[in-house]
Amino acid sequence: MIQAKDLVKRFGDKTALQAMNVTIQPGSIYGLVGTNGSGKSTFLRLVAGVYYPDGGSIQIEGKDVFEQESLKDKVFFVPDELYFLPQSTVEDMARFYADQYSGWDWEYYRKLSKIFPISTKGRLNTFSKGMQRQAAILLALSARCSYLLLDEAFDGIDPVIRGAVRRMIADEAAQRDITVIISSHNLRELEDLCDYIGLVHNGSVLFSQELDELKLGFCKVQAAFRPERDIKEFSGLSIMQYEKRGSLFSMVVKGNSSQVLEYLEQFQPVFTEALPLTLEEVFIHEMEEVGYDYNNIVF
Amino acid sequence: MTTTTLSFKKRFFRLYVSTLKQNLGLIFLLTAVTFFFFPIANGIEMLHVMTSYRDDMFQIVLEDSSFYHMCGAADIYGEASIWFFPVYVLAAPILTVCSLCRPLHNRRAADLYNSLPLSRKGMLGVWLAAGMTITAIPLFVGLVCTPFAALLLHYPHFHPLLMLWDFFLLLLALFSVMSIVMLCAVCTGTTFDCVVFSGLLFVLPISLWGILKTMCQGFANGWQISDGAVDTTLGLLFPVAGLVKHFKWSEFDLGGGAWIGVPYILFWAAAACVLYGVSFCYIHRRKSEMSGSLNRNSVLEAIICVVSSMVGGLAIGALFTTLLFLDIEKYTWLSTVVFSAIGGGLIFAIAEAVLSRGFHRLKKQLAHAGAAMLAMAAVSGGVVFYCEVIVEDYMPNFSQIESISVEDDPGLYKMVSGVLIATENARGVTYLENIPLVLHSEDAIKQVYDLQKHIIEEGNLESRYGIDWDKRYSSVSGFQFTYHLKNGKEITRHYYLSSFTLTEEAVQLYGHEEYIRQAISLFNPEYEPYIQELSILDGLQLREETFPNQQQDSQKFQRLLNTLSREFIDMDPNVYYKETETPVAWLKYNYPNTKKRDEYIKGEIISFHGMIPIYTSFTETMNLLIEYGYGNLLELDVSPVKKAVITNSNRYLDSEDILGRTFIAAHYSFAEVRTWIDTLLLEKSQQKDSEENNNDKEEKLYIEEITNQEFLEIIPKMRISTNNTEEWRKETSTKKVIICTNDDYIGRYIEE
């Protein structure tokens, strides 16, 4: 289990994380979403033991991570900006990590090498961004760590390999019960992969929930009334967004869809329909709630 | 799958090996450079040594190691190597540490390394071990190859064990230098800062000391730091000074040994351990976000900025004060303070701009720059005050003085060509070294003490600045002495004594028996057996007879020396220092220099050559000379003089060689000089009219031949000027006479 308690990290005058509290269950795939500069990468670096917290604590299995070799042996961090040893190949990097990680699995590495369409003998500095990212994921999976931290995991990878990587991570999580934290702006990817989602904004977690629960907590409803109704009449609903076109209401509402539809029945609608909400829509609506709304900007 | 957790040792060793593999290119580069400057350069020098001797000398070469001129305790390093070592020891760690500590200066590399399951301390340990290995391998290769080169070239003398010792000392020096670079690497966020901080840490302490020393010498009249103190300070302030000393000054000729410079190397190795301790403590909590940023340790940054401002400010203050040629003390003081303050502020601003890569922080730092200026004004003012008020007038308590060593040039050394002592080095080889006179008697010490007191009370400018050109004081000599106090401390002072300010105290010191017996070792009874012969010369030094120190004449020889020394000691020293009398004869001695250096006895004191004047007051000496059959030399005989000319010019004659104390210039062709004088006379007659019309007295050439009668009349006024300080006295008005014989010529001053 990864647990952050009142976690604070400052960079000079700027506070990147302010009293962040989050608990990530073991064996889960945790998606970390948030706006640019919200503190996702900082959080991952704190979990990886790269940064030392300025306040609070970050613990894995109940122990502080920083400078804990035995804990860090179980954690593999793939940062957003990759770094490889100068003039090194994938093989060189594999040897480098194999020297340091107890769980390194050469057999698995060979197996994965055949799956990823990259040359393990080619110099990494000649690789494209996506190929470098593939190499990093290949190395990360081969280390066979219990905690895998992937920052901008799918950045630059083509859709085919993205799918493969998703499957590999899901398999790893299922078979070895590893904990994966993925930060990404590609919410579609996370939606397919993650069990849990944490939304980070301004250095703190707005919510951290199971994905299904999260999606169930919001619904998009369309309903038509005759005679026409005023939106104020639906005061029993927690409406996050609505749009009215004639007698047709389109609303994003917090809560279970069946409960919402049941509530609307009392107004004798001509037509009602509940639609599932995508993670991206949830994200946008949540961000609007905290004032992160650029829809009304006129260019 | 069951996995065994890797131990710290395994991870450490694996990362160490991996780091070495990554830096193979650097190892190769350093080895290539070292190979060129170490075995190859040494081989070339060995070849040079081996081919420098003729075939018939070769056997001697093999038997006598003193023929070799290789350096170092191991006798195998060439000049190129011994200068290469310090450069290598300084440069290689900077290059290596910058390459190894990339994660400390690169944000992305920091992500990789700091997420590895190895602690920061462990990682620093790996970098230290790898850094030492990378920099040591090239030296080791050189160490192994050099003996092969020696064997190949049949160079017979080198000491393998001492080579290993040298290698160990080189490793210690590398360890020390690396500690500074590594501390800077840990405390900074970029490679540029690391290099700049390392360079400044190497240079700033020694620069600050150099500037303070220069200021003290400028403002504290007479203050002098002894050579030993200079050596010690350099050794303690500069991490490779000990190494330079070890290799450079353990050259064979100077008789060094394996331990030269070692205390400084060991001191720095100990200091390095402390610095590593600081680095290891600091890296444990070093913020990874420092990597690749302009963040740096604020304490180190403050130290660098403050010391840079001090060095720069004081240097600018001293430079501008020198450029302004300020003679008046109070303006010198003011100028130093003002320019140091301005310089300090300026250097602070420059340092700030360099460290923050621009001037955007300068506005914020203006208050600090102002503080730097104020601080510099206070520091420079404090230094000046300390020098002028405290140091300059300081004299030790007389009762605390155990002895005084005097390095007096010319003093009585004017009569001899240096006093040397035979010293045996660590390898049993005897060599000669200059020694100062050491005075132990209370009255001799009192003479020096009173002399310093007099100088402090007088505060004369010529003593401070040496030369006052307006007064034509060009005859100035240095007088340096060191008080050896009973508590073990030493205080050294150096003053300039001009001919016009040569005080009674100084003259009396020169007449003191203890001083004379040390300066003129001919008067030391222990020295007598080494003298094979003396020469007696007439007053004009035209005639010369030898007095051999043979078995049958030994008593006569000793009697003459005893009598001469007694009369010399009893005479008024003003006679020879102020040249109030012309000697009637001279006693000359030459130590036979056929003796090889190895044959000197340890502790033997030598003065190779000397000329002792015999004045009319030396009646007993003259009687002895008459008794021994040298009476004819005491009588004036001008028959060898073929021509004599009088001149007033130094512009046409090389006064140092002809008119100075060099009375026989055998290396000059007499015919050449005589022709030259004739030519000058001719030119003189041709230019006579125009010269007479010239009102500028100094420009007038005065040279004319004199008659025998005129020559006889000026003989009592002639001075050989044994005293360097009097040599150029009254340059524009003193006439000189040049005396030509059939096969020689001599120059004399004429006292007006």
Side chain identity at residue B143, one-letter code: L
pLDDT of residue B722: 46
Q: Do B249 and B71 touch, CB atoms closer than 8 A?
A: no
B133 shares contact with chain A (CB less than 8 Å): no
CA distance A77 to A74: 10
Structure tokens at B528: 């007598």
The whole-angstrom distance between B1's CA and the closest CA on chain A is: 9
Cross-chain CB nearest to A11 (options B17, B114, B289): B289
Q: Which residue has the higher pLDDT, B138 or A278?
A: B138
Q: Tell me which residue in A49, A102, A105 faces B4 most closely, judged by beta carbons.
A: A102
Say whether B112 and A83 touch across the interface (CB within 8 A): yes
Supply the DSSP symbol for B111: H
- Among B4, B111, B296, B356, most A C-beta atoms within 10 A, so best to mutate, is B111
Question: In B, which residues are within 8 Å of A91 by CB distance?
Answer: none
- A81/B284 touch (CB, cutoff 8 Å), yes or no: no
Q: What is the pLDDT of residue B110?
A: 95
Alpha carbons A287 and A35: distance in angstroms, whole number: 9
Report CB contact under 8 Å: B5, A45: no
**What tens digit of pLDDT does each residue of A209-230 get?**
888 777 777 888 889 988 888 8
Question: At B409, is the secondary structure helix, strand, or coil?
Answer: strand
Tell me which residues of chain B have a pLDDT lower than 50. 1, 252-255, 410, 412-414, 426-427, 461-475, 650-668, 697-698, 722-733
Taken as a whole, chain B contains a residue count of 752
H-helix or E-strand containing B561? helix B554-570
pLDDT for res A8: 95
What does DSSP say about strands A179-183 and A147-151: parallel, antiparallel, or unpaired?
Answer: parallel
* pLDDT value of residue B658: 37
A129-134 contacts, C-beta under 8 A, 24 or more apart: A129/A155, A129/A156, A130/A156, A130/A157, A130/A158, A130/A161, A132/A82, A132/A84, A132/A156, A133/A82, A133/A157, A134/A161, A134/A165
Ramachandran region, residue B510 (left: φ > 0; alpha: ψ -120 to 50; beta: rest)? alpha
Whether A231 has a pLDDT exceeding 60, the answer reads yes
**What is the 8-class DSSP label of residue B34?**
H
How is residue A195 annotated by DSSP? S
Q: Using CA atoms, how far apart are residues B211 and B340, in angstroms rounded to an integer?
A: 12
What are phi and psi for residue A85, nearest 5 degrees?
Answer: -60, 145
Helix/strand/coil percentages in chain A, nearest 5:
35, 30, 35
* Chains A & B: contacts with CB separation below 8 Å: 87
State the residue for tokens 């007096």: B408
Question: For position B581, what pLDDT does the model report?
Answer: 78
The set of residues, in sequence order, having a beta carbon less than 8 Å from that of B147 and lying 6+ positions away, is B76, B158, B160, B163
Residue B364 near chain A (CB below 8 Å)? no
Question: Prior bond to B205 cis, omega within 30?
Answer: no
Mean pLDDT across chain A: 89
Each residue's pLDDT tens digit, B455-489: 888 765 444 444 444 444 344 567 788 999 999 88
The CA R_g of chain B, rounded to the nearest whole Å, is: 33
CB contact under 8 A, B117 and A69: yes
pLDDT score, position B660: 34
What is the pTM for the complete model shown?
0.78
Q: Which residue in chain B has the smallest CA separation from A77?
A: B115
Tell the residue number behind the tokens 């890296």, with chain if given.
Answer: B283
* B-interface mutation test, from A41, A46, A73, A145, most B Cβ less than 10 A away: A73
Contact between B622 and B634 under an 8 Å Cβ cutoff? The reply is yes
CB contact under 8 A, A69 and B115: no
Which of A50, A96, A99 is the closest to B110 by Cβ? A50
Residue B5's alpha-carbon distances to A49, A95, A178, B2, B11, in angstroms, are: 18, 17, 17, 10, 10
The reply to whether B2 touches chain A by the CB within 8 Å rule is no
Q: Do A45 and B111 touch (CB under 8 A)?
A: yes
Angle at A247 between CA A245 and CA A253, to 5 degrees: 75
Q: C-alpha angle with apex A121: A116 to A125, nearest 5 degrees?
A: 90
- Rounded Cα distance, B409 and B395, in Å: 22
Contact B662, B738 (CB under 8 A): no
Half-sphere CA count of B448, side-chain side, radius 13 A: 33
Q: Give which of B697, B705, B704, B703 is closest to B732, Cα–Cα.
A: B697
- d(Cα B448, Cα B492) in Å, to the nearest integer? 12
CB-nearest to B115 from A77, A81, A85 is A77
**How far off is chain A from B15, nearest CA to CA, in Å?**
7
pLDDT band of residue A254 (cuts 50, 70, 90) is confident
Q: Is A87 exposed, middle or buried (0-12, 13-18, 19+ CB in 10 A)?
A: exposed
